[in-house]
Structure 1
Amino acid sequence: MSISYHLDQLPSNVLSLSGYDFFQFIRTTLGEPEAKLLNKISVKTTSSLLLIEDPLDIFNQDIDDEELDTLKEQLCFKMKNDKFLIKPGVTYGFVSLKQALKENLNQQLKHSTKRKQQKQNVNTSSISSLSTPIQEVTTSSLSLSEHKSHVLNLIKKWCNENKESLSLDSFQLEEGIDFTLNIDFEQNSVAQATIKCKCGKVISLCKNNQKIQVSNFYKHLQTIGCSRMQEIKKAQKQIILQQQLQSTISVSQFPASQSCVSPMQIRTDEAINTSAAPNINLVPTSQSKNNAKRRIVSEPERSFSTKRSRT
């Protein structure tokens, strides 16, 4: 079921429409031929429509194109002299739509300027009471640096929350190493952002309430086609294997033993024993006494034997 829009009640995000959403808006506001005409002349965003003075001027050009001729028959009257006159309702429709879009743009710019002034006038004593308006200003009109900081904080938070599910002990994606963030402003101050992953894939980021969302990038990281995530997981496994190997080598070099004695202690004990004992041959006590007795008895016997031999 199509939804028709009144020009005095345009969608809040009408100035940031593009692609399918933009053409769907034109279909429900002006009609199917008007949507096909804008697609034919490559007007695919609201900002592009505002920059074109008159999209119907294409019919005044001498162009040989069957699709354009078909649209001319639908949006124009063929006159008797074989010329075409654009239907007044078609012209009025485009003029009225562009005027409504310009008024909507001016209102948003005034609203944004007013809120910025309110934010600058807020003092420290009234921060708590004005926290909601300040938050609305931040949401509706962020600067380029604020958009970038917002996206990087979202990526950091996602890494911390998903490192366990990805089986990674430490997981942080760094800009310039793992991805490249690109944020630009269109002429109607609408931010457009893309992320180029290290694997080479370029991902367009969507928006929610003028804030850039990173869900498309998260989905890409979890696909098999992201070679950068495969490299990160492989590097993590190699670190774990190296830690396990080092732990195994440390245990094997110092085996546990309850009965072993330190080699240093053995050498110390031997040195103590060697220095305490004199370098002499020890003779048992009993043997020394026997030798002494033999020497005492042998002297008289030797003397007596001499006397007998003289006699």
Structure 2
Amino acid sequence: MFQPDIRFDISILPSNIMVLRDDDFIDFVKEEAGHAAAALLEIQGINCVKSLLMTDNVYAIMDVKSKSLDGLKNKYGYTQDDGTFVIQPGVKGNIEYLIDLLKKKCIEEVKLAKSSKHNQLSSSSTIPKSTLTLLKNKNKYIVDTLNNWCENNKSKLSVQQFSLVEGEHYFILLQNDSNGALKCDIRCCCQKWSSLPLRRGKFQLSNFYRHLQGLNNICPVLKKMISNSQLALPSSTNNPPPLITSDNVPQQVV
């Protein structure tokens, strides 16, 4: 008994088999399965791979009562004692082999399409190492700059401990815009977003500082942190001096 994987060698099929139609398809059937198989398919209007695989029983035509089919039946079948016709075993075997071959071809095409799609997704989702390094450096610069800002403003806020933690008090979003240019947005834990402009290769945090300590209001989260940590120093608690901004906070080179 033949093993299916050995018997059905789809490499013998033409590369364009799935798009063959009409005479081109029938010529292929003649070459692969013989003239009898081609005649049986052609008379039924089976003109491509899809129509062949979607036909439930290609031999059912032998049961059709029509004098116009007698020539086909007598040539490629046998008349039984009860007057019915059966297809010749060799013709049937050739057609079944062809159908199995085409089914396997369809399965392989589907697998290939899925594999190609997976590879495309994997390729598109793979970020070059150089890009990852750049993003890491930009992120580190923002974190370090904010840490310096907190350190420089502890005394101004009259608190002993003051820090903003990434992932808790703020969240950094680095991504490319529609033109492929790198942009950065930062979200405060109070849900307020601030866009950071890029100047001379460095993201400036002035917009975020403005949110944290604006002229008219202070970030509610920062206000609560200061309230919880502030020292009992009457001279500074009631009228704290303005915070140091990015203009005089030492900047780090990315």
Higher relative contact order (CA 8 A, sep 6+): 2
TM-score, length of structure 2 as denominator length: 0.43
Q: Comparing both structures, which one devotes a greater share of its residues to helix? A: 1
Q: Which has the larger radius of gyration?
A: 1
